[in-house]
């Protein structure tokens, strides 16, 4: 997609997200959650990037992240470890530990992680691990069975950044892992549903019959140009119809590895088109993430 940086051998510098944010085109319900964002430390000496990475982002620290949530009326958030840090989850964990009621996390680990480290991450709010098949620096698919066995005692899920079109043969393997499954960015299906109809039907089946979760996120990564983002609407609506109880929304802030920077609030406003009725939209923003990430049924302090 021309709006995203194609993973490759080079390391690409990323633009920063827009500073100015505004409320979306609908009333955001209490306890709404952004289930997909990243924090990137300003102190690169203390929190160095892995040399083997696909992109180099500017800082997106804790304060800027919380300001983004506040500006959009989002009381809860889920941080996802970005590939630029490899398995060094320290910065994300430090942010989680300071906001135990408001934030949860998805870490990147390998199969050698200690039980003590897993127990500590769980106490800090980590509720899943990410497998990254698209960008260098993440943990790839070859270790997913070993990692699934390690996280099973904690009830964590496994989140996959994959292109479902190119990875259809992986879906049965993923289904055998014995843990919850979350698919990033609508499976990287393109905005042309007809082109990806086989992959879409396969993902719909996994959502409807296997109870997999899908993040309604990254619309700008699925189109050639930002002005074409509404072409993603039929795809998002098809996934919602497949199982509205397994859909969550994510901003993907600070929108790393892109050439053209989207407006974060525009991405949230699109949800009003994808899920026009309040009940479904409230499930996507409040109820479903509370179930998936184990948020308490109370207002964050």
Question: Which are the catalytic amino acids?
Answer: 252
Instruction: State the pairing for strand pair 157-161/126-132.
Output: parallel
Residues 14, 55: contact at Cβ < 8 Å?
A: yes
> For helices 62-71 and 90-98, what crossing angle results, to 10°?
50
Q: Which two tokens stand for residue 125?
A: 């709010």
Residues 269, 23: contact at Cβ < 8 Å?
A: no
Report helix, strand or coil for 8.
Answer: coil
Provide the Cα torsion 15, 78, 94, 45; round to 10°. -20
Count of Cβ atoms closer than 10 Å to residue 94 Cβ: 14
Supply angle C-alpha 124, 296, 99, rounded to 5: 40
Count of Cβ atoms closer than 10 Å to residue 256 Cβ: 24
């Amino acid at each position: 997609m021309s709006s995203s940086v194609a993973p490759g051998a080079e390391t690409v510098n990323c633009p920063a997200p827009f500073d100015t944010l505004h409320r979306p085109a609908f009333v955001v319900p209490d306890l709404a959650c952004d289930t997909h964002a990243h924090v990137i430390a300003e102190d690169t000496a203390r929190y160095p990037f892995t040399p083997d990475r696909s992109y180099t982002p500017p800082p997106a620290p804790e304060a800027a992240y919380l300001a983004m949530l506040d500006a959009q009326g989002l009381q809860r958030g889920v941080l996802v470890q970005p590939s630029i840090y490899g398995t060094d989850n320290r910065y994300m964990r430090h942010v989680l530990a300071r906001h135990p009621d408001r934030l949860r996390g998805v870490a990147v680990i390998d199969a050698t992680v200690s039980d003590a480290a897993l127990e500590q991450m769980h106490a800090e709010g980590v509720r899943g691990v990410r497998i990254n098949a698209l960008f260098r620096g993440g943990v790839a698919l070859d270790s997913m069975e070993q990692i699934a066995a390690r996280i099973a005692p904690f009830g964590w899920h496994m989140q996959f950044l994959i292109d479902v079109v190119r990875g259809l043969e992986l879906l049965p393997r993923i289904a055998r892992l014995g843990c919850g499954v979350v698919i990033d960015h609508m499976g990287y299906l393109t905005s042309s549903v007809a082109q990806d109809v086989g992959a879409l039907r396969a993902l719909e089946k996994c959502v409807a019959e296997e109870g997999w979760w899908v993040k309604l996120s990254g619309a700008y990564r699925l189109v050639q140009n930002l002005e074409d983002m509404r072409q993603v609407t039929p795809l998002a609506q098809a996934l919602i119809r497949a199982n509205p109880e397994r859909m969550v929304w994510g901003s993907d802030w600070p929108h790393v590895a892109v050439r053209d920077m989207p407006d974060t609030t525009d991405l949230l406003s699109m949800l009003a088109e994808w899920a026009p009725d309040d009940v479904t939209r409230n499930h996507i923003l409040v109820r479903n993430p509370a179930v998936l990430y184990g948020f308490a049924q109370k207002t964050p302090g």
